[in-house]
Amino acid sequence: MHRIAILLLMASLPALAAPDCTVRSGPNTAALVELYTSEGCSSCPPADQWLSSFARTRRALVVPIAFHVSYWDYIGWKDAYAELRFGERQRERAKASGASMVYTPQVMIGGRDFREWSSEAQVERRLEALNRAAPRAQIELRATAQPDGSLRLAAQAKLAPSARAADAVLQLAVAQNGLASRVTAGENRGEHLRHDFVVRDFRTFARKAPGDGEIAAEAAVAPGAGWEVDRLSVIAFVQDRKTGEILQALSAPVCRS
């Protein structure tokens, strides 16, 4: 009798263990590590390599993301991953966080300018301080690859009472690892550059009702040139657009439907 019961339980395990692809944030604040970079900037490759180190360590409470800016394209090399709006975002975020200027490579951690990224001790101190803090939002995120190659994204953020709900936005990014370029002009001429966590699609969602403490987001994202689903991830974070502070961040792999 016991053997039959055990066999029946084992037969039911695959159904019980099937993942629903939904990732949820935890009781601590994850540190969003933003890099503003350009393939046309000779001082950027070391920062790109530094950000890629997080792809190897896979720290649960660190969410890296790379925004390639286009304002260096004029000096001879057009960065294929850059978008004008990423430079605009950099300027807006720098102003909100009190930074005096924008530059590349620029690192922001938790929404704040962080010039000490080359110091492992300083980075660890900053990350640990953020990770100890209670989050001011909780996030649920699901990313599914469709048969036609598109992505279906669904996220929901619930704001804590301490959050400034009127200024909070939920932002979704599709990011890709393992990208590379052979640069043939500009400051990095002759270099073979590699990148991880590169933003390929970026969207912002606000609350639908003034008194609502939740932000919901749904999006269907068409695949771009060179996208590889196995190298994609989706990043969700809640940001105070007035102060620039990151209330919580989360990253999820792309599931196949």
Q: How many whole angstroms separate alpha carbon 79 and alpha carbon 23? A: 32
Q: Give per-residue pLDDT as tens, 99-149.
A: 778 999 999 999 999 999 999 999 999 999 999 999 999 999 999 999 888
* Residue entry with tokens 């960065």: 79
Tokens of 114: 């962080």
Q: How many whole angstroms separate alpha carbon 88 and alpha carbon 104? A: 14
What pLDDT score was predicted for residue 5? 40
Residue 84 is assigned to a structural domain of this protein: yes
- In which band, very low, low, confident or very high, does the pLDDT at 19 lie, cut at 50, 70 and 90? low
pLDDT score of 1 more than 60: no
Domains in the chain, number: 1
Percent of the chain clearing pLDDT 90 (strictly above): 79
DSSP H helices, the chain, are 2-17, 45-57, 84-97, 120-132
Residue 118 is assigned to a structural domain of this protein: yes
Which is higher by pLDDT, 170 or 56?
A: 170
pTM beyond 0.85: yes
Q: How many whole angstroms separate alpha carbon 188 and alpha carbon 176? A: 22
Query: In 3D, which of 224, 237, 122 has the Cα closest to residue 173?
Result: 237
pLDDT score of 210 more than 80: no
Residue 5 is assigned to a structural domain of this protein: no
Residue 10 is assigned to a structural domain of this protein: no
Residue 165 is assigned to a structural domain of this protein: yes
Residue 42 is assigned to a structural domain of this protein: yes
Could you give the maximum distance between any two Cα atoms of the chain, in Å?
A: 77
Q: How many H helices and E strands in the chain?
A: 4, 15
Backbone angles phi, psi at 70, to 5 degrees: -105, 0
pLDDT score of 240 more than 60: yes
What pLDDT score was predicted for residue 168? 95
What pLDDT score was predicted for residue 209? 75
Residue 215 is assigned to a structural domain of this protein: yes
Residue 2 is assigned to a structural domain of this protein: no
Q: What angle do CA 202, 101, 97 make, to 5 degrees?
A: 60
pLDDT score of 98 more than 90: no
* Residue entry with tokens 């439907």: 257
Average pLDDT, the chain: 91
What pLDDT score was predicted for residue 18? 38
The whole domain housing 214 covers: 21-256
Q: What is the CATH number of the domain that holds 68?
A: 2.60.40.10
